[in-house]
Amino acid sequence: MKYTLIISWLMLLATNSGAQEHYDQQKASRLLGLPDDTAKVNQLNNYARNIQSASPQNAISILNLTADLSRKLRYDYGLASSQFLRSSMYFYEMKLDSSRLLMEQASGLLAGKTDSASRDLYASLLMRKAGLFQQHQNTDSAIYYYLQAATTYADKSIIAYYNISGIYRYLNDTSRALAYARQTHSIAAATNNPVYVLRSLIVLGDAFVLAGQRDSVWSIAQTGMPMASTLNMPFATGMFHAQLGQYYSDDITRYDSAVSHYRAALDIFTGYSLSFEQALVLQHLGNLYLKKGDYEGAIGHLKKATELARRLDLNQVLFYTLKDLSLALEKTGSLAESSQYLRELLAVNDTLQERNNRKTVMELEARYQVQKKEAYLAIQEKDIQQKKFTIWFLLWGLATLVVISLLLYRNYHHKQKLQQAKIEELEADKQLAATETVLKGEAQERTRLAKDLHDGLGGMLSSIKHSLSTLKTNLTMTPDHAQAMERSIDMLDSSILEMRRVAHNMMPEILVKYGLDAALKDFCHDINQSGALQVNYQYIGTHYKEPDQTTAINVYRIVQELLNNIIKHAGAQNALVQVSDNEDIVSLTVEDDGKGFDTKTLSYQGGMGWSNIQSRVDYLKGKLDIMSEPGKGTSVWIEFNTGA
């Protein structure tokens, strides 16, 4: 059986650039005795990184110490490094929520920093976020963050390509998996870093397994095993054992060799508490015993693999374990239990079909190619400038041919202008296309999440409320129990209202059904009802034409962001939202009587909200004007053409 699964060590390259070492009390004492400064924080963090696999508890103790010292020193990079390393350990323990929380905290500390070390760490955090999405088999988001990390910091491209190869193995795309694996190996070989080379051999071996190139799998394992031993990297040894297990499992006469290699891999992964890798190997062993006709052995291994896959939410692994387990149970005559696992298999298959949005993955890769083309255009522009200098020099040297030289220069300069204009036009089109993709993706994701909340969670909560109300009516309860039941129903009502509020904020249903004017009027009414601000909404025009949905969503989000800014920062009592429609020209004005601000600060203090507003205005090809002074309130005017 040939199939692909997500790669088993998603971010190991990003967190551990060398071989692991065991905890050395003398070395640790020497580091702890250093003066309390940033150098001490960096050295301790580096030491924790080197011992995190061999001595995890000691690594955790050191990271807790560096986190406290970094806070005392107000050393953001040191604290972010400590949180990132601890997040990595949580990741491999499959404590993904804890990993995500620390990762977000570290990202916040590095936001806006431009030094090389901070950019490198921030790119690693993007890789970690991609790894979290990949662990949940959300391949579209994983691809996006891997490519974003590679764009943010070029040195991360080897890691990004490694993991992208794994995703294409997951999608059973043999050609792309091999292409990215070979690219990873090529980059690793150029670095002369033996650890990178070793890990590139692993991804190359996995791709050869998918492609069915058995001789190449054998060759890779024979090359990688001695390197893993020399570098003291038992995890890599386990990976090569697993690949050799797949190599031998294709030959019915060598099943015993396959079992031997699988068990060697399982011992290593169990020793390092790598639950994900254990699940994979147990699934392979179960499948092998099934092919051998040892159904009891198959059932034992597959049930263990199924339990791990359920606990880790590994639906791709679970699919194959359930498929083989139901067949093995059928062979032993346990038809009822086999039917139970078969029903679960069908449910898991439905979930996988929803997750495997291959089209989105291809679109994300295309977006990355657009970024590469933009970089190529920048190189072209630089080359044009160099050619221009050369021509000026030649014109100066050929003074006797002044007239001819001037004509040549004018002709060349005209071509330069045309080419420059074309480059600028291409850049503007690509930038607009990228913005449009992001905004449409955001709107689609908000719509999907709002629908899932309203239809899924909302329906479940309403059913629970109905059941509790029925139970209250049909049962005789003491006054205390009746009061407790009533409180529970009230809390459930509050939960339903809160869920609907969140779904409404993600994508207001009124905007989709009744249009922009109704949605803005409803949004302003809700703010008035909350008491946070008194908003006067006005619509001026006699030829109202409902804009397309994408335009309507962007205008709604602009108004939403502006009013939220007023509530949070302006200290205003009243605000005005005015929409003016004159055929295809729409004007939007948002004013408040708050404390105002110096508009010059937007050039260097503009937060994420203003950036989002500017992006949406650019997408609408509109004009934006902000008028404000301290103590005199703020007025924002936006105009765009709906017929363009």
- Residues 29 and 148 reside in one and the same domain: yes
- Please, what is the average pLDDT of the chain? 80
Dist CA 151 CA 483 (whole Å): 59
Domain of residue 457 covers 358-465
Domain membership of residue 79 (yes or no) is: yes
For 584-620, what is each residue's pLDDT tens digit?
Answer: 788 899 999 999 888 887 766 656 577 788 888 888 8
Tell me, what CATH number does 293's domain have?
Answer: 1.25.40.10
Write down the residue that tokens 């657009």 correspond to. 370
Distances (CA, A) of 490 to 416, 457, 465: 72, 17, 9
- Residues 155 and 238 reside in one and the same domain: no
Domain membership of residue 77 (yes or no) is: yes
- At residue 137, the 3 state secondary structure works out as coil
| Beta-carbon-side half-sphere exposure of residue 321 (alpha carbons within 13 Å) | 27
- Domain final position from 300, 320, 355: 355
Domain membership of residue 582 (yes or no) is: yes
- Residues 336 and 380 reside in one and the same domain: no
Write down the residue that tokens 């999608």 correspond to. 171
Closest CA to 29 of 40, 38, 37: 40
State the average pLDDT over residues 296-315.
89
Most confident of 119-123, 426-430, 461-465: 119-123
At CA 355, angle to CA 351 and CA 360, rounded to 5? 160
How many domains does the chain divide into?
5
- Domain final position from 254, 272, 290: 272
- Residues 260 and 295 reside in one and the same domain: no
Domain membership of residue 453 (yes or no) is: yes
Q: In this model, does residue 1 exceed pLDDT 60?
A: no
State the average pLDDT over residues 329-354.
84
pLDDT band at 369 (very low <50, low <70, confident <90, very high): low
Instruction: Compute the CA torsion angle 159, 161, 167, 171 (nearest 10 deg).
Output: -170
- Residues 121 and 8 reside in one and the same domain: yes
- Residues 389 and 528 reside in one and the same domain: no
Show the DSSP H helices in 398-478 as ranges.
Answer: 402-451, 458-474
**Which pLDDT does position 379 carry in this prediction?**
61
- Residues 28 and 159 reside in one and the same domain: yes
Kindly state the percentage of the chain with pLDDT values over 90: 22
Query: What tokens appear for 51 in the block?
Result: 């011992």
Taking phi first (over 0 means left), then psi (-120 to 50 degrees means alpha), and beta for anything else, what does residue 274 get? beta
**Which pLDDT does position 371 carry in this prediction?**
56
pTM to 2 decimals? 0.45
> 601 or 561, which is more confident?
561
- Residues 23 and 151 reside in one and the same domain: yes
**Which pLDDT does position 52 carry in this prediction?**
85
Tell me, what CATH number does 15's domain have?
Answer: 1.25.40
- Residues 214 and 130 reside in one and the same domain: no
pLDDT band at 499 (very low <50, low <70, confident <90, very high): low
**Which pLDDT does position 447 carry in this prediction?**
61
Domain membership of residue 498 (yes or no) is: no
Tell me, what CATH number does 623's domain have?
Answer: 3.30.565.10
What backbone phi and psi angles, to 5 degrees, belong to 55? -135, 70
Domain membership of residue 186 (yes or no) is: no
Domain membership of residue 474 (yes or no) is: no
- Domain final position from 328, 355, 382: 355
Q: In this model, does residue 204 exceed pLDDT 80?
A: yes
Of 123-137, 227-241, 264-278, least confident by mean pLDDT is 123-137
- Residues 376 and 251 reside in one and the same domain: no
Measured on CA atoms in the order 186, 136, 131, 451, is the torsion positive or negative? Answer: positive
Query: What tokens appear for 215 in the block?
Result: 């001789």
Domain membership of residue 483 (yes or no) is: no
Query: What tokens appear for 518 in the block?
Result: 């109704």
Q: In this model, does residue 309 exceed pLDDT 50?
A: yes
- Residues 544 and 637 reside in one and the same domain: yes
- Residues 166 and 64 reside in one and the same domain: yes
State the average pLDDT over residues 432-459.
58
Closest CA to 438 of 546, 550, 362: 550
Measured on CA atoms in the order 431, 436, 437, 441, is the torsion positive or negative? Answer: positive
Cβ(361)–Cβ(141) below 8 Å: no
